Amino acid sequence: MYPVKEKLREVLATLPDGVRLVAISKYHPSSFIMEAYDEGQRIFGESHEQELASKVKELPQDIEWHFIGHLQTNKVKYIAPYISMIEAVDSLRLLREIEKQAARCDRVIKVLLELHIAEEATKYGLTPDDCRQLLDDGEWRTMSHVQICGLMMMASFTDDEEQLCREFQTAKDLFDELKQKHFADDPAFCERSWGMSDDYPLAVSHGSTMVRIGTAIFGPRVY
Ligand SMILES: *Cc1c(COP(=O)(O)O)cnc(C)c1O
């Protein structure tokens, strides 16, 4: 059995106050999630709608689930009844669909805008300019069932620490700009979701409030 409890404690010991852990449990069995749950962990992240749905059915109700993957608009309706936060909103179209499905469930769903800064061409997300445009456009202000709580980003897959620092700093600077321009009186816009198993100490030193850690807690994923 993988030592989930021990690994979780090790990770938590390195996180300063004010940085929350989203334990990324995709591809890991529910028994691993229960190990972490028994240690007090309540926020878990998944990236596939069907895997999430089957875990939600068998796991405790007080888990806060974050959807961290690319979400197709036609899947929003399946997760809308229970999802706490959708971290990777990468289009206005997706935001509109979340608003519609959340309204149907009479809920407010928290979301983050996913920023694309990394060099990899394959990653989803909004460029800084897309992000500015989406917020300047203002349609989001008419949406009463989504709450935009901040930004999420994945840094490049690299060992180059300077590059990682640059990317995290770009995300942090954009957060500050958007906060001042659009959310100055909105305390809910406060989350900066960056940092994964290999880069979270750097992310934390560049303003992360939420780290998304899988491998360092649950071990390697078996796909
Ligand atoms: C899988 C995943 C993570 C966790 O990655 P690890 O390297 O296992 O910590 C974090 N964020 C996103 C968006 C992911 O898809």
The three state secondary structure string of the chain is CCCHHHHHHHHHHHCCCCCEEEEECCCCCHHHHHHHHHCCCCEEEECCHHHHHHHHHHCCCCCEEEECCCCCHHHHHHHCCCCCEEEEECCHHHHHHHHHHHHHCCCCEEEEEEECCCCCCCCCCECHHHHHHHHHHCHHHHCCCEEEEEEEECCCCCCCHHHHHHHHHHHHHHHHHHHHHHCCCCCCCCEEECCCCCCHHHHHCCCCCEEEECHHHHCCCCC
Distance 64 CA to ligand 1 centre (A): 17
The pLDDT of residue 118 is: 81
Distance 217 CA to ligand 1 centre (A): 11
Distance 197 CA to ligand 1 centre (A): 7
The pLDDT of residue 1 is: 79
The pLDDT of residue 165 is: 97
Distance 212 CA to ligand 1 centre (A): 6
Residues 34-72: pLDDT tens digits?
Answer: 999 999 999 999 999 999 999 999 999 999 999 999 999
Low-confidence residues of the chain, pLDDT below 70?
Answer: 122-123
Residue 128: closest CA among 95, 173, 166, 165: 173
CB of 68 closer than 6 angstroms to any ligand 1 atom: yes
CB of 210 closer than 6 angstroms to any ligand 1 atom: no
The pLDDT of residue 43 is: 98
CB of 195 closer than 6 angstroms to any ligand 1 atom: no
CB of 153 closer than 6 angstroms to any ligand 1 atom: no
